[in-house]
């Protein structure tokens, strides 16, 4: 497990003016990854690209289904047009593509961090911390998974990721 934090309850945080990574079902092996920027949400799913969706709609879904979610806010707001362009280059989770791929491009191209060896979010977040790109961690419905104000990211293999994608594609 990889420790990140300190993590605060999201009820006290406004993310509309930030950019960052969201882990949906943050307690699962693997979690689903998305990206938020300037009040919009982006994600690759098994059958579509969720592009430029309203972040409030994601919050409504999280609250309605009580989805354990971790939000990692970056210390700079990225250009919405650049995020749209990156996600537009994808179609869905096919041919070995995983939901981290566009996020790696964002980190590599826009934050100028070498992500060549990164395959998983539990590797990416410590790298972002090392380069001082994270301003905060906040959560919805992760109280049961927070210890001493920190969240522990589960580790997993690529086989587990691909197996999860395959099960969701059915």
pLDDT digits (tens, 9 = 90+) for 22-68: 999 999 989 999 999 999 999 998 888 899 999 999 999 999 999 99
Task: Pull the structure tokens for residue 90.
Answer: 């994808």
* Whether the model pTM is above 0.85: yes
DSSP, residue by residue, 138-154: EEES-GGGEETTEEEEP
Is residue 148 within 8 Å of 4, Cβ to Cβ? no
The CA distance from 153 to 70, in Å, is 10
Q: Read off the DSSP letter of residue 10.
A: G
pLDDT for 109 equals 94
Beta-strand relationship, 134-140 and 7-9 = parallel
The CA distance from 41 to 39, in Å, is 7
Is the confidence at residue 92, as pLDDT, over 60?
yes
């Amino acid at each position: 497990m990889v420790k990140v934090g300190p993590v605060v309850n999201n009820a006290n945080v406004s993310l509309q003016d930030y950019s960052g990574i969201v882990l949906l079902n943050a307690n699962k092996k693997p979690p689903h990854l998305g990206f938020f920027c300037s009040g919009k949400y982006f994600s690759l799913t098994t059958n579509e690209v969720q592009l430029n969706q309203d972040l409030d709609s994601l919050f409504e879904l999280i609250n309605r289904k009580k989805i354990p979610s971790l939000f990692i806010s970056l210390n700079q707001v990225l250009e919405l047009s650049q995020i749209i362009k990156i996600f537009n280059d994808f179609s869905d989770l096919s041919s070995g593509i995983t939901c981290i791929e566009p996020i790696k491009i964002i980190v590599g191209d826009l934050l100028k961090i070498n992500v060549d060896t990164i395959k998983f979010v539990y590797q990416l977040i410590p790298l972002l911390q090392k380069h001082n790109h994270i301003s905060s961690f906040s959560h919805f419905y992760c109280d049961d998974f927070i210890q001493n104000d920190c969240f522990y990211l589960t580790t997993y293999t690529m086989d587990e990721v691909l197996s999860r994608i395959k099960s969701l594609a059915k």
